[in-house]
Amino acid sequence: NGIQGYQKQVLETLKQCIPNDVKTILDVGCGDGLITNPLNELYDVTGMDISEEALQYIKGKKLVGNILNIPVEDEYYDLVMVNDVLEHIEEESYSRALHELARVSRNYIIVTVPNEEDIENKKVLCQSCGTTYHINLHQRAYNQRLMKDLCIPVGLDARMIIYTGEVGNPPHNPLTKFQHALKMSYEWEGAVCPNCKWKYTVDNTTDKKLLYAVRQEFWKNNLIYNNRSEIMALYSKKNN
């Protein structure tokens, strides 16, 4: 599909964040390489993903693997990066994922996640089985405070935190509770129920159009916010 607008900004921010002494990089959850492939021109990058189909698009080194069990020796890469992945990890596996990233990193970790996402606002009600789920199956939201302390339990300190990605609407929708009361969930044609696999169909009724118009007006006139879609942090091991 090609690199999207927010990914272009993330790529440029990544280039600014990567320390000068980095030569080897592991991109965990690289997908089809929209971020990985351009970095291959500057560094020795290995793309790792659980999907062999996605890895077909990686132009450089590639590795089939899971963030919970990375098939790499300890401290093998100068830098391990994980972009738009951690927000998908379920709570019972979260600590293990962070420990695996720290284990295979020699010096640094870079994490990119959605900035101040309103998890409740982006939940969809499956019209087939009644399951409520986040459109992208995100498990948690992140902010600057959480990013600062994210890797302390695995022995890394935050050296830099940067806002990146697209400019967009404020993350917190003041009308979410009203939407839920009216049985109106977030609308996205790409949403697929994780329970029954039903695909969401947008029903853009007059009531929904009116509610969204009110929300936009509230945002425009009442809120001061950081309007970038992503937050990125560089962490280093404490002996650096």
pLDDT of residue 204: 53
Q: Which of 119-123, 134-138, 154-158, 207-211 is predicted least confidently?
A: 207-211
pLDDT of residue 117: 79
3-class secondary-structure state, position 3 = coil
Residue range 141-145: mean pLDDT, rounded: 88
Nearest to 174 by CA among 128, 211, 146, 200: 211
Separation CA 40–CA 144 (nearest Å): 29
pLDDT of residue 223: 47
Q: Which of 34-48, 81-95, 165-179 is predicted least confidently?
A: 165-179
**In residues, how long is the chain?**
240
Kindly indicate the confidence band of residue 70, based on its pLDDT and cuts at 50, 70 and 90.
Answer: very high
pLDDT of residue 153: 92
Please, are residues 135 and 123 in contact by the beta-carbon 8 Å criterion? yes
DSSP states of 126-176: -TTT--EEETT-----B-HHHHHHTTGGGTEEEEEEEEEEEE---S--TTH
Nearest to 234 by CA among 118, 78, 122: 78
Please, are residues 158 and 108 in contact by the beta-carbon 8 Å criterion? no
Q: Is the per-residue pLDDT at 186 higher than 70?
A: no
- Of 118 and 104, the structure prediction assigns the larger pLDDT to 104
Q: Is the per-residue pLDDT at 50 higher than 50?
A: yes
Please, are residues 101 and 67 in contact by the beta-carbon 8 Å criterion? yes
Widest Cα–Cα separation across the chain? 59
Beta-bridged to residue 47, according to DSSP, are 27, 62
3-class secondary-structure state, position 90 = coil
